[in-house]
Structure 1
């Protein structure tokens, strides 16, 4: 099969289009033909080794800063280079491992990218495309329990906008306990996670204030949903009401921020970091899609072999929504 193999930490030269063996599903696994694969910050961050404590700049600033090895630069730990990235997958089940249920073969599915290998009572997570081979390929092998059939009129590319962005946004709102009547400030609202948070917060009956670019909110809010970070962090805390919550899933504008602890404790604020998805998050998302509660935010598509061009455009942050890669059909 054709795949994009990320060979190590560094620039776009680390993305190599190769022919590699089609994975063989084992017990409890399913093989999917990848129909579409979304692009996320995490793939770029991992390639750059941005998760390393030695990196303090924004993702875009770190792009192209050399090929220094950063063994601590992976999502959970050391990244398993060389490997295939791709966290978002819309696919079709084409085979199951020994003893598996063949009744799902042929179904169009989404993959829950954030997996809890020891159950939801454990905090340990494993991520497709970060901890093991992902969807930047014609086929991907995944645990069968993480495959969710979906029936809707969305295109393959539209479905591929969903898993990481909407899963992250729904998990943030779930963890923050956003409910009807809350006022929610969403930073970076033109990006994948931001747009998802706007839709999902509205679905919960919250009043949403969306920030894109350098705009600032003058109103006080109950919850701030942020995956931007950087210099705007302090201002976000200032607009929170007493006992408000700041929930974050990223730091694309910079991971090192100034925190006035007096603001934190005098306003009785809660700071929530969100990575691992709770149990109801992904099944709820599938239900939202099938009921028509949310709509996709697709900014554009690229063939798989134009991944470097797509990632460059992604880092420019001039698009609204998600960019998606389309692998060539097998054969």
Structure 2
């Protein structure tokens, strides 16, 4: 089969197109013919060593073993089943839950042995992938392309919204609202949980589509008076902040939060370290959450909301599998709106 491997830490030149044997499913696994695989920050950070090169660049302490096939947002057709898997699964169109874990129900994502497809296992930048049968779910939409737009970013966004226990009528500020997680934060908070959303983007040309996704207000982080604009739009402080940016908007987020407000972060594309005056946190009674991925139950709830049309895919562009390097370079460009996907050839 054709696959794209990361051969080591470095730039996009570390992605190599190779021909390797099709993997064989173990007794409790299935072989999936990959139809689409969305690109995430996580596989780029893994390649670049952003999680810490050497023994710490991956989701597990031992780090990534190269070469590794990246890719975690995977849809496809089951074409072969292991000896312990019901034959009725063969031919099913599925979306893959993106990690394995021995954690108890509800805490799978924080288990010490959580292992991620595309990091600890070979992933979806390939024509075929093997995965545990129990972690393959029916696609929520008829399209492979559209169904692949949700797995990691959607699960992350759903878990963030659940973490802060969004209530109908609350105002939620969403940073990076044009990105994969951010655009889903907007949709989930507004369309599923009934919140008012202030979407923070770079380009106000995105205002129309952000409002279609459910935002009540759309503001630009480039404004010199962003905090004042947020407070004016909401006629006061916001209830919670869902953040994927980190340092660049952290002071603003803390400033506009109400007393007793909640701050939830799942990314730091705008800076991984910040200056924090602890007095602000305790005097305003702010609750802070770190968040990444989520539970299998949340994944199923998300798929149901997608199937019901409450959450819609936002897709920017697709590339053929052998153009993975170009796709990752394009992904890193600022200002894109929606997911970038790789398509496996028929």
Unaligned runs of 5+ in 2: 203-220, 232-236
User: SS where residue 130 of structure 2 aligns?
Assistant: strand
Deviations 1:186-231 (A, max 9, x none): 0000001010000000120011110002253522111110111122
Pairing partner for 1:85 from 56, 61, 70: 70
Instruction: Return the alpha-carbon distance in structure 2 between the equivalents of residues 90 and 279 of structure 1.
Output: 17
* Residues 183 and 222 in structure 1, CA contact (< 8 A), matched pair in contact too: yes
**Number of residues paired by the alignment?**
312
Contact 1:39 1:324 in 2 (8 A): yes
State the distance in 1 between where 2:64 and 2:140 align. Answer: 34
Distance in 2 between the 1:171 and 1:42 partners?
A: 17
Distance in 1 between residues matched to 2:193 and 2:60, nearest whole Å = 31
2:168 corresponds to:
180
Partner residue, 1:119: 104
1:1-331 superposed matches below 5 A: 1-52=1-52, 70-77=54-61, 78-120=63-105, 121=107, 123-124=110-111, 125-153=114-142, 155-202=143-190, 203-213=192-202, 214-215=221-222, 216-217=226-227, 218-219=230-231, 220-329=237-346
After superposition, the C-alpha distances for 1:233-256 in whole angstroms (9 at most, x for unaligned) are: 121111111111111111111111
| SS class of match (2:73) | coil
Alignment TM-score, normalising by the size of structure 1: 0.91
1:151 and 1:232, CA in 2 relative to 1: closer, same or farther beyond 3 A? closer
Write the deviation string for residues 147-184 of structure 1: whole angstroms up to 9, x where unpaired: 0012534x211111110111110011111111212210
- Counterpart secondary structure, 2:184: helix
Q: Distance in 1 between matches of 2:131 and 2:239?
A: 38
Quick one: distance in 2 between partners of 1:41 and 1:281? Answer: 21
Distance 2:7 2:302 in 1: 33
1: CA distance, partners of 2:14 / 2:29: 29
SS of residue in 1 equivalent to 2:137:
strand
In the TM superposition, residue 107 of structure 1 has moved relative to its aligned partner by 1.3
Root mean square deviation of aligned Cα: 1.4
Q: 2-side partners of 1:145 and 1:117: how far apart?
A: 13
Measure, in 2, the Cα distance between the counterparts of 1:117 and 1:326.
31
**Which stretches in structure 1 are left out of the alignment for 5+ residues?**
53-68
**Cα distance per residue 1:261-318 (max 9 Å; x no partner):** 1111111111111124124210011101211111100001001111111111111122
| 8 Å Cα contact 1:3/1:84 also seen in 2 | yes
